[in-house]
Amino acid sequence: MKFIITIDTEGDNQWDHGRVLTVENIKFISRFQDLCEKYNIKPTYLVTSEICDDEYSQVLFSGYVKNDRAEIGAHLHSWTTPPFLTDPGYTENDSNHSFASELPYPLLSKKIAFLTEQITSSFGVRPTSFRSGRYGFNEQVAKVLVDNKYLVDSSVTPFVSWVEHRGLPQGAGGPDFLDFSPFPYSYDFSGRSLTEIPVTIVPTKFPLNRSHGLARFYFRNVNDSYFLKVLRRIWLADQPVWLRPTPEMTLRLLLKLVDESERLTLPFITMMFHSSELMPGCSKYRPDEHSIEVLYSLLEDFFIVLTEREIKSVTLTDAAKDMKS
């Protein structure tokens, strides 16, 4: 099993409709990068359009790429990536943050092509890894990625549904990944393929961790069943577990997730979080300096355990190439 760490690298104020996006959080990346390098971890930064336009980001990430210290992939926010339309839901910095999986195919294709060329121009490397903003992913997105020579996506969140989250006005909402597996798989299109490496999200408590069929039934029906709601309240409140360093995450819970992933024989474990979480006050998860120190303490403790267990780091693209070799 190998470890992948992905950072959705984006503006500070994604949800402030009508305000100019700022990217001050990128100035806090260097400390995180230094920590990764201390433990021979090579992160994958998945960058949005506004990051490509920032001169500080261009210098920083170009240096990482040039020295083979990190991978730069793409992170599509449809509300900040040209081209835009005048209809509600399609405008620049629109208050409706549309899922890529909702977009008409021609517009989706233009946006991904635009972002791909932006990254290539800004950082000197054509991206081959991708994550969709708000996890808005489906087979249509996979097809456009293959058309643009991407090798790997990491948008799928197993055991999680985003259907209740609104995107386009009158749209269908986000994708439903409740029935998806935490294992990698591929999309094949006429001899070309895209590897999917999901974010690592698995149930770690009995009985959900002993039957993914039972887990899917539970997660799909828990809000409609009094008995399942009680079960969640007294035993399963923290299920499923994301490999994500949120404030409620502990080293003990992270290690349970790693143990469960090893039991399942997952080939990769994929962590994710946002670049805004590295800057005090830029994310609801990290409101002050103390919360940032807690994050770094948790990450370093986790990296130490990975080193002790000889779980090596790979980028998203390296992992996809491993799958195909």
User: pLDDT tens digits for 233-273?
Assistant: 999 999 999 999 999 999 999 999 999 999 999 999 999 99
Q: Which two tokens stand for residue 237?
A: 């409140």
From 156, 126, 161, 116, select the one nearest 139 (Cα to Cα): 156
Q: Are residues 28 and 154 in the same domain?
A: yes
* Distance of alpha carbon 148 from alpha carbon 247, whole angstroms: 37
**Confidence (pLDDT) at 287:** 96
> What are the distances in angstroms from CA 71 to CA 43, 63, 187, 275, 292?
6, 11, 22, 15, 24
pLDDT digits (tens, 9 = 90+) for 125-141: 999 999 999 999 999 99
Strand partners for 161: 176
Q: Are residues 42 and 6 in the same domain?
A: yes
Flag residues of the chain having pLDDT under 70. Answer: 17-18
Q: Are residues 224 and 299 in the same domain?
A: no
From 175, 195, 164, select the one nearest 133 (Cα to Cα): 175
Q: Are residues 317 and 180 in the same domain?
A: yes
Asked if 294 contacts 245 with a C-beta cutoff of 8 angstroms, the reply is no
**Count: domains in the chain:** 2
**Confidence (pLDDT) at 325:** 76
Q: Are residues 183 and 220 in the same domain?
A: no
**Confidence (pLDDT) at 142:** 98
Q: Are residues 182 and 216 in the same domain?
A: no
Q: Are residues 318 and 217 in the same domain?
A: no
In this prediction the pTM is 0.97
Domain boundary among 216, 239, 262: 239
Domain boundary among 223, 239, 255: 239
**Confidence (pLDDT) at 18:** 65
Q: Are residues 222 and 319 in the same domain?
A: no
Domain membership of residue 214 as a residue range: 205-239
Q: Are residues 152 and 43 in the same domain?
A: yes
| Phi then psi dihedrals of residue 317, to 5 deg | -65, -40
Q: Which two tokens stand for residue 300?
A: 């370093």
* Cβ within 8 Å of residue 30, ≥6 positions away: 60
Domain boundary among 239, 263, 285: 239
Q: Are residues 152 and 216 in the same domain?
A: no
* CATH of residue 29: 3.20.20.370
Q: Are residues 43 and 126 in the same domain?
A: yes
Please give the share of the chain, as a percent, with pLDDT higher than 70.
99
* Distance of alpha carbon 245 from alpha carbon 296, whole angstroms: 9
* Distance of alpha carbon 16 from alpha carbon 216, whole angstroms: 35
| Backbone conformation region of residue 244, classed left if phi is above 0, alpha if psi is from -120 to 50, else beta | beta
> What are the distances in angstroms from CA 322 to CA 152, 186, 243, 267?
11, 13, 21, 10
Q: Are residues 84 and 225 in the same domain?
A: no
